Structure 1
Amino acid sequence: MAQGVVKSYDPNSGNGIVVLDTDKSEVYIQPGSLKGSIFRTLRQGQRINFEMHNIDDVPTISNVKIGQGGY
């Protein structure tokens, strides 16, 4: 699982951005990324663990869980 920090998240659209801990690159949170997760929304600065996937050559996340150390 990858780990990062939520840079932004819009609960209305389900879109957002996570900054990866490993190389500080940004990964897209697309609508539906929280499906199957206990989360309904994310907060800026929140540390999360997640699985990464490429959808149409765009890195995106799924299977979101609270990251080590909270936020």
Structure 2
Amino acid sequence: MQGVIKAYDPATGDGLVMCDTDLADYELAANALEGSIFRMLRQGQRVVFDLDESGQATGIHLGSEVDMGTPGH
């Protein structure tokens, strides 16, 4: 899935990502940044993510132009 970081608190790791396809907000899982190049996130940052079994966003990573659906790629 892909979306935009809606909110992120670097002190607690709490945050929300808004999904592009259904405009739903998903809370970040406690381990959302594990194995990622990210150490923190900023509001408005575009990301690709997965949902864990509890429905929280995890596996936050940058998408390629193909992943993001950029026209021409």
Same topology, TM > 0.5: yes
**RMSD of aligned residue pairs (Cα, Å):** 1.4
The structure 2 residue matched to 1:62, chosen from 51, 58, 61, is: 58
Bigger radius of gyration, 1 or 2? Answer: 2
Runs of 4+ in 1 over 4 A off after TM superposition: none
Number of equivalenced pairs: 65
Q: Percent identity?
A: 42
1:13 touches 1:31 (CA, 8 Å); kept in 2? Answer: no
Residue by residue, what CA displacement relative to the aligned partner does 1:11-70 show, whole Å, maximum 9, x if unpaired?
111110000000100101132210111110000000000111232xxx21222112437x
- Larger fraction in helix: 2
- Larger fraction in strand: 1
